[in-house]
Amino acid sequence: MTEGKVLKLENIETGYRGVQVLWGVNVDVGPKEIVAVLGPNGAGKTTLMKATMGFLKVWKGSIIFLGRDITKIPSHERVKLGITLVPEGRSIFPNMTVEENLMMGAYMYNIKKDHRVIEMLEVVYNLFPILQERRSQKAGTLSGGQQQMLAIGRALMTNPKILLLDEPTLGLAPKLAGEVLNTVAKLRDELGLSILLVEEKVLLATNIADRIYIMNQGRIEHEFLKEDLTKKEEILQKYIGF
Amino acid sequence: MDFKKYYPLIPMFIISVILLAVRLAAPELSQIVSLALFYVALGEAFNIFTGLTLYVCFGYVAFVALGMYGSGLALKYILATSNPPLVTTILFSFAVAGFFAFILALVVGSIGLRLRGAFFAIATVGLSEGLKNFIEGTGIWGGSSGLIIAGDLISSYGHETYVFVSTELADYLMFAVYVLSLLVMFLITKSRFGYGLTALKEDEDVANVMGVNTVRYKLMTFVISAALAGMIGATKMLKDLVIYPPQAFAISYTVEAIVITMLGGLGTVTGPVIGGLVYSILKYMLTVSFPGLQLLILAPVLIAVCVLFPYGIVGWVKRRFRGTLIDYLLV
Ligand SMILES: Nc1ncnc2c1ncn2[C@@H]1O[C@H](COP(=O)(O)OP(=O)(O)O)[C@@H](O)[C@H]1O
Ligand SMILES: [Mg+2]
């Protein structure tokens, strides 16, 4: 059923220069839902994110956002509709200050005149008080965890309805990784956002996800519904089992 | 209105006035000044695309060459059909020059700028050589024997005007193109467009997920940069009044444009001005004192400078005086 879904990826097939990576992937995300796609390195998770965002042309299948087919819409237009991505490897602007980074995120709006910009900045600072504390500091001087928060904060400045997160815990110590994922849960609980999360840290992701897909070699191999998420061992087994 | 953000125009204005004053007051220096004006303008036009996007077009000289041809053909055409005042002739040939370069950039950019960084650079390697071979091979626009404009100018306006155009007017027009490029670059960096380009330059994917239409932004800087390069070509045509394919399509211009922007500070507004001045003075002095060996000496010096000052002269000064008035005024 398309109805009620925020994002539906239907039978996605794509790849790079003729080399197919995704083989008929079906993933959907409902309102205020965190859906995690878990899979080992090279499974095709980033490729799925790129296709959803429009960085990569989809060969077959379609992308439905709020009931509308956006398969052929360019990425910057998708952002305007309310989809945005925090790419793998926290690509913040290191030589700009924290606040300049956030304002860059508000690029689509008239920064001086649009009251939404100030509102969104306030939302971000409420979520991440540390960013407000360090607002005039160069972003490159932040710790890894803080940089990830900044990357998420900057994405929030586009005022999205759904946020795509590509391995937000990459390279973070377990404790910090947990903290970052807890703030991801806050995005759902406090802002009502839908989230498509890609992760390799299985157990941490199951703590916050409402639903899980296990991906391997470009295919979705299992889906765990909310009620199954307590069976962590089984999830882990499916994940490692390949 | 926020006038403060226009303060950096003051040092640019002072440098430009000095340049113009030297040209006016010391005609014996006109040779080096016109060389300097050419390189400063070329560097600035090149900087609008490469400095703002970090994309490099290895066939950049094609826009200068096409500007030469465009203006040369326009001049020949208008003088063959009517006898307008000099101003009209020149304005018309400049418009055609800019338009030719603009169209070429639009075609090359619409296809090529969908490619990322290095792939675009590789794709443009053959652009200028290809175009040159096309002209020479098909024999259009005078083919390999070139296009001579001097005669048309003399028969329409007389010998005196001809001398004035190539020795005086061409220099002032080059100055005008330089000022135009400088202003365009400055205004872009202060605009929302420039703001989006800053993001694009740092990370294209991130710029995209902020809602920046990256392909269009790259294309816009490319066509603006190319149109200005075309006008530089028009000025060069007025100076030489003859166009030969090997000189018009000299790959050295592309290389020199890269060197000048790197030397001065890639992506800074004043960088190419400083870089262009330093480069042309160095080149001139070396040509005078070591004729034939200038490139042999220049190359290692420039490599050394680029290694020692990776952010260029302007970048280095800004870093050295961070937070001071100098940092603020030098953009
Ligand atoms: N730019 C690219 N060009 C060609 N192949 C790529 C590219 N990016 C990823 N791949 C290939 O696609 C497959 C999936 O990669 P990716 O989506 O990055 O996996 P994951 O994010 O799950 O680690 C891998 O086999 C990888 O080698
Ligand atoms: Mg990945």
pLDDT tens track for B31-81: 999 999 999 999 999 999 999 999 999 999 999 999 999 999 999 999 999
Compute how many other C-beta atoms are within 10 angstroms of the C-beta atom of residue A116.
13
Tell me, what's the pLDDT at A241?
62
Find, in chain B, the residue whose alpha carbon is nearest to that of A157: B210
**Residue owning tokens 């000095």:** B18
Q: Taking a C-beta distance cutoff of 8 angstroms, is the pair A3, A67 a contact?
A: yes
Residue whose entry in the numeric block shows the structure tokens 């040092």: B11
B206 touches chain A (CB under 8 A): yes
Neighbour-count burial of B67, counting CB atoms closer than 10 A to its CB (0-12 exposed, 13-18 middle, 19+ buried):
buried
Between residues A79 and B308, the one the model is more confident about: A79
Query: Is residue A44 within 6 Å of ligand 1 at its C-beta?
Result: yes
A168 CB within 6 A, ligand 1: no
Please tell me if residue A158 touches chain B, with a CB cutoff of 8 Å.
yes
The whole-number pLDDT of residue B294 equals 79
pLDDT band (50, 70, 90) for residue B215: very high
A221, containing H or E segment: strand A219-224
Domain ranges of chain B: 3-329
**Distance set, CA A119 to CA A78, A101, A163, A185, B203 (Å):** 22, 16, 18, 21, 26
State the Cα–Cα distance between residues A114 and B25, nearest whole angstrom: 52
Chain B residue numbers with beta carbons less than 8 Å from the beta carbon of A80 are 211
Q: For residue range B107-164, what is the model confidence (pLDDT) as tens digits?
A: 999 999 998 888 999 999 899 999 999 999 999 999 999 999 999 999 999 999 999 9
Give the pLDDT score at B1: 62
Q: What is the ipTM of this complex?
A: 0.87
CB atoms < 10 A from the CB of B328, how many? 14
Give the atom of ligand 1 at the shortest distance from the alpha carbon of A218.
Answer: 14
User: Residue B58 phi/psi, 5° resolution?
Assistant: -75, -10
Q: What one-character-per-residue DSSP string does A122-138 give? A: HHHHHH-HHHHHTTTSB
Which helix H or strand E contains B270, and what residues bound it?
A: none
- For B208, the closest of A75, A86, A104 (CB atoms) is A75
Q: What is the mean pLDDT of chain B?
A: 94
Contact A69, A7 (CB under 8 A): no
Count of CB pairs separated by less than 8 Å, A with B: 56
8 Å CB contact between A178 and A16: no
Q: Where are the domains of chain A?
A: 1-75+199-242
Residue B217: list chain A partners with CB under 8 A: none
Closest chain B residue to the Cα of A89, Cα to Cα: B206
Cβ(A14)–Cβ(A21) below 8 Å: yes
Asked if pLDDT for residue A242 goes beyond 60, the answer is no
Please indicate if any CB of chain A lies within 8 Å of the CB of B211: yes
Q: What is the CA radius of gyration of chain B?
A: 20
A1-75+199-242, what's its fold?
Rossmann fold (3.40.50)
What's residue B293's pLDDT? Answer: 83
**What's the mean pLDDT in B165-170?**
95
Mean pLDDT calculated for residue range A69-86: 96
Q: What is the pLDDT of residues A102-153, one digit of tens each?
A: 999 999 887 777 888 999 999 999 999 999 999 999 999 999 999 999 999 9
Confidence at residue A1, expressed as pLDDT on a 0 to 100 scale: 47
In the numeric block, the tokens 């990776």 are attached to: B310
Partner B contacted by A91 (CB < 8 A): yes
Architecture of domain B3-329: Orthogonal Bundle (1.10)
Tokens of B253: 């211009």
Q: Which residues contact A75 (CB under 8 A, 6 or more apart)?
A: A53, A54, A55, B208, B209
Query: What is the biggest distance separating any 2 CA atoms in chain A, rounded to whole angstroms?
Result: 54
Chain B neighbours among A 102-131 (CB < 8 Å)? 104-105, 107-108
Q: What is the pLDDT of residues A2-31, one digit of tens each?
A: 468 999 999 999 999 999 999 999 999 999
Q: How far is CA B55 from CA A91, B115, B267, in A?
A: 19, 10, 11
Q: What is the mean pLDDT of residues B244-248?
A: 97
Portion of chain A with pLDDT greater than 90, in percent? 81
CA distance to partner chain B, nearest, from residue A75 (Å): 6
The ligand 1 atom at the shortest distance from the C-alpha of residue A45 is: 22
How many A from CA of A50 to the centre of ligand 2? 10
> What residues are paired with A8 via a beta bridge?
A28, A64
Residues in chain A: 242
Strands across the sheet containing A83-86: A83-86, A162-166, A194-199, A34-38, A211-216, A219-224
Q: What's the predicted TM-score (pTM) here?
A: 0.92
Yes or no: say if B101 and B229 are a contact pair by the CB < 8 Å rule.
yes
Decide: B296 and B277 in contact? Cβ < 8 Å. Answer: no
pLDDT for res A72: 96
CB B115 within 8 A of CB B123: yes
Phi, psi (deg, nearest 5) at residue A44: 115, 15
pLDDT tens column, B9-38: 999 999 999 999 999 999 889 999 999 999
Write down the pLDDT at residue A168.
95
Backbone phi and psi for residue A9, each to the nearest 5 degrees, phi listed first: -100, 120
Residues in Cβ contact with B113 at an 8 Å cutoff, skipping those fewer than 6 apart: B55, B120, B215, B218, B219, B222
Q: Which helix (H) or strand (E) holds B315?
A: helix B312-320
Which ligand lies nearest to the CA atom of residue A40 in the structure? Answer: 1
pLDDT over 60 (residue A43): yes
Tokens 């490619």, residue located: B115
